[in-house]
Amino acid sequence: MNEIKKDKFGTVVNKISFPLLILFTIATLIPIYILIKVSISKPADVLTQHPTFLIHNFTTKHWSKVLASGKLWPAFNRSFTVASFTALFAIIIATPASYVISRLDKKVKYVVILSLFFTRMFPNVGIALPISVKFIKWNLIDSNLGLVLAHLIEQLPFITWILVGTFETIPVDLEKSAMIDGASRIRALISIVIPIATPGIAVAALYVWLNSWNEFTYALYLSLSENTLPLQVYYYINRGGFFQTATYATILAIPVALITYALQKHLKSDSLGGAIK
Amino acid sequence: MGKFLKKYCFEIILILPLTLYIMYFTLVPVLETIRLGFLDGATNEFSLSNYNYLFGRDDFRKAFFNTVVIALLGLIAQLTVGLTLALMLKRAFKGKGIFRALILTPMGIPTIVSGVALLYIFDTQGYFNEVLYRGSEALKYLGLISETYRFIPIDWAEGGMRTILLVVFGDMWKVTPIVTLLLLAGLESIPGTVYEAARIDGASMWQTFTNITLPLLKPAITMTVVLRAVDLFRIFELPMILARKSTPVLATFAFEEYRVYNNPNVSGAASTILLVIIFTFILLYLKYVDKGEGLA
């Protein structure tokens, strides 16, 4: 009976749903296409009143220029080093803490996690200001150590959040039975809990690595002459280096795109909270 | 107290480094910023001079306005598009996996890179103006309009509402995948039996949406709103790249005050105002819109 009842809204939704999805998908992909297109186009195709949409004059000139310029590798190294050490320190500091938080009473845990989120409400510019004043005194401006310390500010709450979720899935009984068999608490943690949590820790570390690799605000506050890769992109935007910007931006995006794609199946909504940028 | 310390000694040692780090590198700096904002730059004494100075300045009022408008418009746009996409992806159809993967692509693009791509698209000589131009040429050819390029090319970064829309669009492009995933997770947690019951009772699609989907999705929506609002108010990279001085937001304003004008006290005051806005918004949302239902 009910089938006869008219559902105009439902009919419209059913009809436009798929075309709309295709439209959104195309809109999603266009900016990436344009970016890559600019990095491999001759100036005549791009720097005109009427840029072309298809790639007419393919050239690797901008890429070879950037790769040979000697400015790419220092920035690349710096970003790579800072991101790797940030991820390493984040694991060392956050793993034990997340383990403890995950074993807390439900109510206490809720409060702890909420206060971790609370730190994310502070504007970066408000934290970066006194940090950079402090680091000038400590001579940490333009240093890798300074950047690692600053990146940890954002990454520690984030990785803790993810790791608490990982440890929560490991049953307490496993530790308990190990301890009944005579293992100490530390022993039970190191040889039972940590090995089970390793894949989760690895995923979290990769996220931290990516966030640090992309980080812009703290890097901008704490750098005067030595650029990270995102700052190098920004430097060329300001200089009006149309093609260098596109090439550097593409180089910056490649590892991110690859790792994100590989991690896609690990994306869970609870771990996304902190990932939002 | 001693008993407590002894009993939880192990836990405390494990959690101490994290706690100390957050205290020293997050809470102390935030308090320091608030203190800086209340100190007069010249005399170093407690005063409200920075706040008076800020509200007397035209570009600060503009930054304030821009920040709030970008955040509100951004929230509405992201929730609408994110929810639309989540609803479409919830349906079962062939090739769903491919669409899901493609739509998530911007997650793998750094914010600054998305800013660069938008720079090319919305440049005066950019691709969007070219699309508008070709579109209007086509309309002229068909005889539908007589004049074309009085309004083309449009300078999207010139300032005003169009630049605000540009920033909103840029942020939306970057974060829609995450909003979609958050809402999709919420949708998938609604039991299918509820929908079945609604169908048997003859509810139309619109009724199902407003009476079942939206209320049951409230926790997911609240989480999305809170997370996104914080980041929209703090927005920094995109206005820095796309809008520069034409459309300052509070974050870029605070940065320029410190770095360009060497005025840490004014920068601190601006950051404090931003902090207050974020807290006020979240509290108001939780109190009046969510009413304590979502965050549980």
pLDDT at A271 over 70: no
pLDDT of residue A52: 77
Alpha-carbon gap: B27 to the closest alpha carbon of chain A (Å): 8
Nearest-CB residue to A21 (from B88, B227, B254): B88
Q: Using CA atoms, how far apart are residues B216 and B63, in angstroms rounded to an integer?
A: 37
Q: Using CA atoms, how far apart are residues B185 and A120, in angstroms rounded to an integer?
A: 22
Give the lowest-confidence range in A5-9, A68-72, B135-139: A5-9
Closest CA to A245 of A257, A258, A234: A234
pLDDT at A268 over 60: no
Helices (H) and strands (E) in chain B, counts: 16, 0
Give the DSSP letter of residue A41: B
Contact A31 B117 (CB under 8 A): yes
Give the CB-side neighbour count of residue B110, counting CA atoms within 13 A: 29
Alpha-carbon gap: B86 to the closest alpha carbon of chain A (Å): 10
Residue A141 near residue A129, CB atoms below 8 Å: no
Residues 6+ apart with CB under 8 A from A3: none
Q: Which residues of B124-135 are buried (b: 16+ CB within 10 A; e: fewer)?
A: eebbbbbebbee
Number of domains in chain B: 1
Alpha-carbon gap: A211 to the closest alpha carbon of chain B (Å): 9
Closest CA to A245 of B24, B21, B241: B241
pLDDT of residue B55: 94
pTM for the predicted model, two decimal places: 0.89
pLDDT at B187 over 90: yes
Partners of residue B206 in chain A, C-beta under 8 Å: 7, 9-10
Residue-wise pLDDT tens digits, A169-203: 888 888 888 888 888 888 888 888 999 999 899 99
Contact A268 B279 (CB under 8 A): no
Give the CB-side neighbour count of residue B70, counting CA atoms within 13 A: 33
pLDDT of residue A277: 34
Contact A21 B99 (CB under 8 A): yes
In a domain, B197, yes or no: yes
Contact A260 B107 (CB under 8 A): yes
Residue B13 near residue B245, CB atoms below 8 Å: no
Q: Using CA atoms, how far apart are residues A240 and B95, in angstroms rounded to an integer?
A: 41
In a domain, B19, yes or no: no
Give the lowest-confidence range in A13-17, A25-29, B275-279: A13-17
Q: Which A positions 106-125 lie with beta carbon below 8 A of chain B?
A: 116, 119-125
In a domain, B99, yes or no: yes
pLDDT at B85 over 50: yes
Task: Return the SS3 of A171.
Answer: coil
Residues 6+ apart with CB under 8 A from A93: A152, A156, B17, B18, B21
Measured between CA atoms, the residue of chain B closest to residue A97 is: B15
Mean pLDDT, rounded, of chain A: 87
Q: What is the percent of chain B with per-residue pLDDT over 90, rounded to a whole number?
A: 59
Residue B74 near residue A220, CB atoms below 8 Å: no
Tell me the one-letter amino acid at B72. L
Measured between CA atoms, the residue of chain B closest to residue A103 is: B11
Residue-wise pLDDT tens digits, A108-155: 888 888 888 888 889 999 999 999 999 999 999 999 999 999 999 999
Contact B205 A121 (CB under 8 A): no
Mean pLDDT, rounded, of chain B: 89
Q: Using CA atoms, how far apart are residues A122 and B29, in angstroms rounded to an integer?
A: 10
Token pair for A93: 């500091």
In a domain, B27, yes or no: no
Residue in the block written with tokens 């004494």: B45
pLDDT at A270 over 80: no
Q: Which residues of B42-58 are buried (b: 16+ CB within 10 A; e: fewer)?
A: eeeeeeebbbebbeeee
Q: Which B positions 209-268 lie with beta carbon below 8 A of chain A?
A: 220, 223, 227-228, 230-231, 233-234, 236-237, 240-241, 250-251, 254-255, 258-259, 264, 267-268
Residue-wise pLDDT tens digits, B97-155: 888 888 888 988 899 999 999 988 988 778 888 888 888 888 878 877 766 656 677 78
CB atoms within 10 A of CB A9: 14
Question: How buried is residue A2: exposed, middle or buried, by Cβ count under 10 Å (0-12/13-18/19+)?
Answer: exposed
Quick check: A261 contacting B, CB < 8 Å?
Answer: yes
CATH number of domain containing B110 = 1.10.3720.10
pLDDT of residue A68: 83
In a domain, B21, yes or no: no
Residue B118 near residue B263, CB atoms below 8 Å: no
Measured between CA atoms, the residue of chain B closest to residue A230 is: B112
Question: How buried is residue A4: exposed, middle or buried, by Cβ count under 10 Å (0-12/13-18/19+)?
Answer: exposed
Quick check: A4 contacting B, CB < 8 Å?
Answer: no
In a domain, B63, yes or no: yes
pLDDT band at A269 (very low <50, low <70, confident <90, very high): very low
In a domain, B287, yes or no: no
Partners of residue A133 in chain B, C-beta under 8 Å: 264
Tell me the one-letter amino acid at B36. L
Quick check: A195 contacting B, CB < 8 Å?
Answer: no
Q: What is the percent of chain A with per-residue pLDDT over 90, rounded to a whole number?
A: 47
Q: Torsions phi, psi of B180, nearest 5?
A: -60, -45
CA distances from A122 to A68, B263, B275 (A): 41, 20, 6
Quick check: A276 contacting B, CB < 8 Å?
Answer: yes
Q: Using CA atoms, how far apart are residues B121 and B206, in angstroms rounded to an integer?
A: 37
Closest CA to B224 of B295, B153, B135: B295
Alpha-carbon gap: B112 to the closest alpha carbon of chain A (Å): 7
DSSP string across A248-266: HHHHHHHHHHHHHHHHGGG
Contact B272 A126 (CB under 8 A): yes
Tell me the one-letter amino acid at B142. L
Q: Which A positions 38-77 lie with beta carbon below 8 A of chain B?
A: 38, 46-51, 53
In a domain, B68, yes or no: yes
CB atoms within 10 A of CB A104: 16
Q: Using CA atoms, how far apart are residues A258 and B209, in angstroms rounded to an integer?
A: 37
Rama region for B202: left / alpha / beta (φ>0; ψ in -120 to 50; rest) = left
Q: Which B positions 124-163 lie with beta carbon below 8 A of chain A?
A: 125-127, 130, 133, 153
Q: Is the dihedral of CA B247, B250, B252, B256 positive or negative?
A: positive
For chain A, the distance separating the N- and C-terminal CA atoms, rounded to the nearest angstrom, is 49
Q: Using CA atoms, how far apart are residues B220 and B153, in angstroms rounded to an integer?
A: 41
pLDDT of residue B129: 82
Residues 6+ apart with CB under 8 A from B13: none
Q: Rg (Cα) of chain A, in Å, rounded?
A: 24
Measured between CA atoms, the residue of chain A closest to residue B173 is: A28
pLDDT band at B288 (very low <50, low <70, confident <90, very high): confident
Expressed as residue numbers, the domain containing B235 is 58-252
Partners of residue B107 in chain A, C-beta under 8 Å: 260
Helices (H) and strands (E) in chain A, counts: 14, 0
pLDDT of residue B296: 45
Q: Which A positions 139-168 lie with beta carbon below 8 A of chain B?
A: 149-150, 152-153, 156-157, 160
Alpha-carbon gap: B55 to the closest alpha carbon of chain A (Å): 18
pLDDT of residue B100: 85
